[in-house]
Structure 1
Amino acid sequence: MPDPTAPLNVDSTTPVTHGALAPKAFGITDKGRVRPTNEDQFLVAELSKAMRIRQTSLVEPKLHVGEERGHLYLVADGMGGHRAGETASALTVTAIEQFMLNSFKWFFAPDESGVQKVLAEFQAAIGHADAHVMAEAAEHPELSGMGTTVTLAFHLGSQVCLVHVGDSRGYFYRGRELQQVTHDHTLVADLLRSGAIQPEEAARHRYRHIITNVVGGEQVGVKVEAHAFEVKAGDRLLLCSDGLTEMLTNEAIAHVLGTTPDPQEAATALVAQANAAGGRDNVTVLIVRFDEAGST
C-alpha cells in the first residue's frame, strides 16, 4: 500500500476491467456504552446522471436516468469537546455531498487514467471539506480545533477508489482473508512503521489515540491517502470507525464477515460485539457486498 504522504497512485496488483457488479450496502452507527453523544457519521449514496424533460413534442418519460451508476460510501469520526466533533463530522459529510453534486467530474470509463482522475477529484472533495470545517471553526471559537476522520470509497464498474484521512479504517475481504487497506494516521502508527516500537507496544501505548492527520483540527492542510483496486463478485468492503477496531481484533472481524454474508446482519453483529467488549467509543460500521449484476 502507498505512503499516505505520497502522490496519488493506483494499486496495480490487478488489471482494470469493466465488469458489472451490483453492490449491497448497509451502514449503522451507535454511541457505545461510555460516550454521552455520537460524533460518528456515515453515508451510503448512489450517483447517476439524470435529465428532467421540461417540454418536448415527443411522448416520452419526463425523467431519464443514466444506466451507469456510481456508489459512494463514507465513514467519519469527529473529535473535539462541547459537541464540536459531532459538528465537524456532520459538516464534512455535507460538504462532500455538495462537492459531489456541484463540482465532481463524472468518469464513465474506469481505466487507469480515469481512476487517477477520480482519486484526484476525491482529494479535492476532502480539501473542500477541510476548508469548510476550518472556516466554521474560525467563525465560532467554541468549535476551535474540531476535526474528523474520513474514509470514503467510490465504486464504479469493477473499480473501487478509496481515500482516507485519520484513524478510521477501510478493509477489503476476499476468500475469508481480511486486509486492512488504509494506514492509521496516528503518532503510534508512525512510530510502528519507522521501527521505533514493536506491535505489542503499539497496542498499549499511551499515545495511541493521538491522530496526526485529520480534516479540520489544528494543522493547516490535510494529506489524503489514496488507493484503487478491482473487486469481483463475493468481495466485501468494510469501512469503520476506531470504536470497532479498538474493541475487536481483525480476526474477530473476519470471523463475523466469514459467517454472516448479509451486510446488515454482519454490521449489526459487529456493533453488538464491540459494545459487548466494552463499547468505549462510538462505533460505526459500513459493509458493502459485491454481487453479480442481476443475482440479487
Structure 2
Amino acid sequence: MTAMPVKIETSQFEFLVSPLSSSTRPAPREPATTSVQVDLAATSHPGKVRSRNEDHFMVAKVSRHMEILMDNLPAGQLPQELAEDGYSMVVADGMGGMNAGDVASMLAISTGVRLADKSVKWGFKINEKEARDLLNRMSMYFQEIDRRLTLKSEGDRRLFGMGTTLTLAYSVGAHLFLIHVGDSRAYLFRGGEIAQLTRDHTVAQALADAGQIKPEDVRTHARRNTLTNYLGGHRGKIQADVRWLRLEHGDRVVLCSDGLSDMIDDAAIAEVLRRGECSQRTTEILLEKALEAGGKDNVTIIVAGYSIPTDSLSHALEGHKEVAKAQDTRLIDTDEFHPSRDSGRN
C-alpha cells in the first residue's frame, strides 16, 4: 500500500439520514441492548507474499453495569440491575518502510482505546442528539490519532512516513455507527445481498468518482492501492467518513483490509456469507479464498452476526431498503457538523 498526496478530494463527512426520523412510520421500539446477541469472530494473516503482517484489529464488548446491593425502598421501586452492551470492531492496515506500517496500525488502535477510556460518555442511549455527539467524539478521536501518529513519525526517522487506514464499527442495540479513513472496508449483508458501507479513499476510486474511469475498472487500476486519505501526516487535520444506520435481525457486518477485497470481489464474499456458517467458520472460509487467490497482501477479517429480538422491531423501517440507502446518503455540510474544524484537505 502506498500513499500519495493528490488534489482530488475524496473524503467527506457523510451522515446517513437518521434511522430515527427518516420514515413517516412510527419509530420502532428499541430492543434492550443486552437482548441483542452478536456472533463475533476475527482473523489476521500475513498472506503468501509479505513476510510481515502490518494489519492489526480489535474486537471489544463495551458494557455499563449497575447492580443494587442495598436499599430500603419499597419492593419494586428499583430495578435490581441495570446494564447496557455495545460492540466495537476495528481494522487498521499500516503502511510505511521497515516496521513503520505495523507500528502505525498498532498505535492507531491502542491510542483510540485510551482516548475512549478517558471519555465520560460511551454512547449507550441513542437518539438524534446522542448519535451526533457520538460521531463527533469518534471524529475527534481520529483527529487526535492522526496528530499523534504524525508527531511520532516526525520524531523518529525509522518511522518517517508511516500511516494507516482505520475502519471502526460500533454497534449498540440495533444501531450501527461507522467511521472510516483509507481503503479497509465495512460491508452489510442482509437478505442475501451485500452492500459496501465505506468508500475507498484511493486514487482509482477518486478517478471513478470523477468519471475519469469506469467503476468496474477500479479493481484493476494501477492506483487502486494508492491512498488519498489515511491516518498519519496530517497533524490532526484528517477528514473521515461517518455513517449511522439501523441493524435488523439476521444482519451480518464484515470489516476487512484490502488483502481480502483485492483478492476476492464482493460477489464472492456474499456467496460465502449466504452459506449461513457461524462467524468463526465464515472468517476461515474467506481467509482460505483470499489465500487461494494469491494472498498478495496481509488479510484481516472481522465478521459480526446480529440476532435482534424481532418483536421489538415489528414496526421497523422496510428491511431491504436499508441496503439501498447504504449507497444513497444525504450529505450534511462539514461546517454544520463540525463548525470549528479545519477539513484538512489537500
Q: Is 1:19 aligned with 2:31?
A: yes
Gaps of 5+ in 1: 59-63
Matches of 2:229 and 2:31 in 1, distance apart? 35
Q: 2:208 aligns with which of 192, 197, 206?
A: 192
Matches of 1:112 and 1:5 in 2, distance apart? 23
More strand, by proportion: 1
Q: Which residue of the partner structure matches residue 33 of structure 1?
A: 48
Matches of 1:124 and 1:220 in 2, distance apart? 9
Please report how far the alpha carbon of residue 158 of structure 1 lies from its aligned counterpart in structure 2 after TM superposition: 0.8
Please report how far the alpha carbon of residue 218 of structure 1 lies from its aligned counterpart in structure 2 after TM superposition: 6.4
Please report how far the alpha carbon of residue 57 of structure 1 lies from its aligned counterpart in structure 2 after TM superposition: 8.6
Please report how far the alpha carbon of residue 129 of structure 1 lies from its aligned counterpart in structure 2 after TM superposition: 1.2
Matches of 1:104 and 1:138 in 2, distance apart? 31
Matches of 2:235 and 2:293 in 1, distance apart? 33
The DSSP-based 3-state class of the residue aligned with 1:215 is: coil
Q: Which residue of the partner structure matches residue 61 of structure 1?
A: none
Please report how far the alpha carbon of residue 11 of structure 1 lies from its aligned counterpart in structure 2 after TM superposition: 3.4
Alignment of 1:140-155 (within 5 A): 140-155=156-171
Matches of 2:210 and 2:115 in 1, distance apart? 36
Q: Which moved more, 1:154-163 or 1:217-226?
A: 217-226
Matches of 2:186 and 2:14 in 1, distance apart? 17
Q: What does the per-residue CA deviation read over 1:160-180, in whole Å, with 9 as the maximum and x for residues that have no partner?
A: 000000000010010000000
Please report how far the alpha carbon of residue 116 of structure 1 lies from its aligned counterpart in structure 2 after TM superposition: 1.2
Matches of 2:142 and 2:157 in 1, distance apart? 22
Matches of 1:250 and 1:37 in 2, distance apart? 26
Gaps of 5+ in 2: 1-8, 72-79, 311-346
Please report how far the alpha carbon of residue 7 of structure 1 lies from its aligned counterpart in structure 2 after TM superposition: 3.8
Matches of 2:82 and 2:144 in 1, distance apart? 27
How many residues are aligned here?
Answer: 285
Matches of 1:104 and 1:236 in 2, distance apart? 30
Q: Is 1:48 aligned with 2:48?
A: no
The DSSP-based 3-state class of the residue aligned with 2:147 is: helix
Q: TM-score, normalised by structure 1?
A: 0.89
Q: Which residue of the partner structure matches residue 252 of structure 1?
A: 268
Please report how far the alpha carbon of residue 139 of structure 1 lies from its aligned counterpart in structure 2 after TM superposition: 1.6
| Aligned residue identity for 2:189 | Y
Matches of 2:183 and 2:160 in 1, distance apart? 20
Please report how far the alpha carbon of residue 104 of structure 1 lies from its aligned counterpart in structure 2 after TM superposition: 5.6
Q: Which residue of the partner structure matches residue 227 of structure 1?
A: 243
Please report how far the alpha carbon of residue 5 of structure 1 lies from its aligned counterpart in structure 2 after TM superposition: 3.8
Matches of 1:240 and 1:160 in 2, distance apart? 16
Matches of 1:49 and 1:276 in 2, distance apart? 42
Q: Which residue of the partner structure matches residue 92 of structure 1?
A: 108
Q: Which residue of the partner structure matches residue 218 of structure 2?
A: 202
Q: Which residue of the partner structure matches residue 103 of structure 1?
A: 119
The DSSP-based 3-state class of the residue aligned with 1:216 is: coil
Q: TM-score, normalised by structure 2?
A: 0.77
The DSSP-based 3-state class of the residue aligned with 2:87 is: strand
CA separation of 1:141 and 1:65: change in aligned 2, threshold 3 A: farther
Q: Is the 8 A contact 1:10 1:115 kept in 2?
A: no
Taking only the aligned residue pairs, the percentage that are identical comes to 34
Q: What does the per-residue CA deviation read over 1:90-145, in whole Å, with 9 as the maximum and x for residues that have no partner?
A: 00010011011112623332122221111111111111211121121122111111
Q: Which moved more, 1:138-147 or 1:250-259?
A: 138-147
Q: 1:213 aligns with which of 224, 229, 248?
A: 229
Matches of 2:120 and 2:70 in 1, distance apart? 32
| Aligned residue identity for 1:72 | S
| Aligned residue identity for 1:11 | V
Work out which of the two has the higher radius of gyration on C-alpha atoms and give 1 or 2: 2
Q: Root-mean-square deviation (CA), in Å? A: 2.4
Q: Is 1:278 aligned with 2:278?
A: no
CA separation of 1:100 and 1:5: change in aligned 2, threshold 3 A: same
Please report how far the alpha carbon of residue 23 of structure 1 lies from its aligned counterpart in structure 2 after TM superposition: 1.3
The DSSP-based 3-state class of the residue aligned with 2:220 is: coil
Matches of 1:159 and 1:4 in 2, distance apart? 26
Q: Is the 8 A contact 1:256 1:269 kept in 2?
A: yes
Matches of 2:37 and 2:221 in 1, distance apart? 42
Q: 2:176 aligns with which of 160, 168, 192?
A: 160
